[in-house]
Amino acid sequence: MTPNQPHSTKSVSTLDELLDVLDHEYCRRVLVALVDSEQQSDASLSPHSMWKEGTDLLEKGQSYSHLLKIDAAGFVDWDRETDTITRGPRFDELLPLLGWAPPLPSKTTPDTETDESVDELFDALSHPIRRHVLLSLADPDSLAVDKTMSYPPSEESDGDDADSDPDLLALELRHRHFTLLDDYGFVEWDPETETLTRGERFDDVVPLLDFVAEYRAEQSRQSE
C-alpha cells in the first residue's frame, strides 16, 4: 500500500462485502495462499505467482483490478515497490469464510471443475436476495418458496427499484435470481407452477448458509 493510499478504516464488514471479495477466483487464490503460508501473519507472496498457467493479458489486468480493491479495503497489503502481498489489517474478518474455499490446486494442473463449483457457491450467496431465498429453503419447516417472496427487510438491496415495486420484484426474482440458482443446481424452479424447491446441489451450499445465519445472529447480539 502506498503512503498516499491509506487502508480503509472500516472495522466491520457487511456480508455483501465479504462475499463479494471471495466471489472472484483470483482474490480467493491470493487470500487462501496467505492463510496456507504456514499460518504466518507476516507471510508474503508475489501477485503474479497466483496466476494460472496460460492466463492472458486481459485476465491479468482484471486480477490487478481486483487486487487493488482488496488492498484499498484493507484485506491485504500490496507493496508496489517490492511487488509483494501480505495480510492487511482487516484480513482476519475473512478467515471464517476462507475456511470454505478449497486448497489451491497446482498451477500447472488447475482443478477447473472445483474452481467453477466454488465460484457458483459464492456467486449464489453474493446477493442478499439469493441468500434470503436459500435460507428460506434451508428452513426445515419450509421446503418450498412461493411467488410472494419479498426482499429480506434486514439486508440492503443492490440499489434496484425492485425493492419498492412488487411487480419489478416478481420479475427480478423469476428471471434473475431463481433462474441463476436453478442453473447452478441449488434450487429447482418451475415457472409453470411458480414453485421453488431444493435442487440436487442444495446440500453443497448448506455449510455457507450456516455461516450466514451465525453471522447474522452475532451481528444482532452485538447491536443489542
pLDDT tens digits, residue range 139-154?
Answer: 765 555 555 555 554 4
**Most confident region among 104-108, 201-205, 213-217 by mean pLDDT:** 201-205
**pLDDT at residue 51 in the model:** 75
How many whole angstroms separate alpha carbon 75 and alpha carbon 13? 11
The 10s digit of each residue's pLDDT in 88-101 is 999 998 888 887 66
**pLDDT at residue 161 in the model:** 45
pLDDT surpassing 50 at residue 126: yes
pLDDT surpassing 70 at residue 200: yes
3-state class percentages of the chain: helix first, strand second, coil last, to nearest 5:
55, 10, 40
Q: What are 212-221's contacts with CB under 8 Å, separation 24+?
A: 212/15, 212/125, 212/131, 212/135, 213/135, 213/138, 215/15, 215/96, 216/15, 216/154
* Full-model pTM: 0.69
Partners of residue 195 on adjacent β-strands: 190
**pLDDT at residue 20 in the model:** 83
User: With pLDDT > 90 as the criterion, what percentage of the chain qualifies?
Assistant: 18
**pLDDT at residue 149 in the model:** 57
How many whole angstroms separate alpha carbon 28 and alpha carbon 118? 10
pLDDT surpassing 80 at residue 54: no
Q: What is the mean pLDDT of the chain?
A: 76
Identify the residue with better confidence: 42 or 216.
216
The 10s digit of each residue's pLDDT in 15-25 is 788 888 887 88
Nearest to 18 by CA among 61, 68, 62, 74: 74
pLDDT surpassing 90 at residue 182: yes
**pLDDT at residue 25 in the model:** 80
**pLDDT at residue 157 in the model:** 46
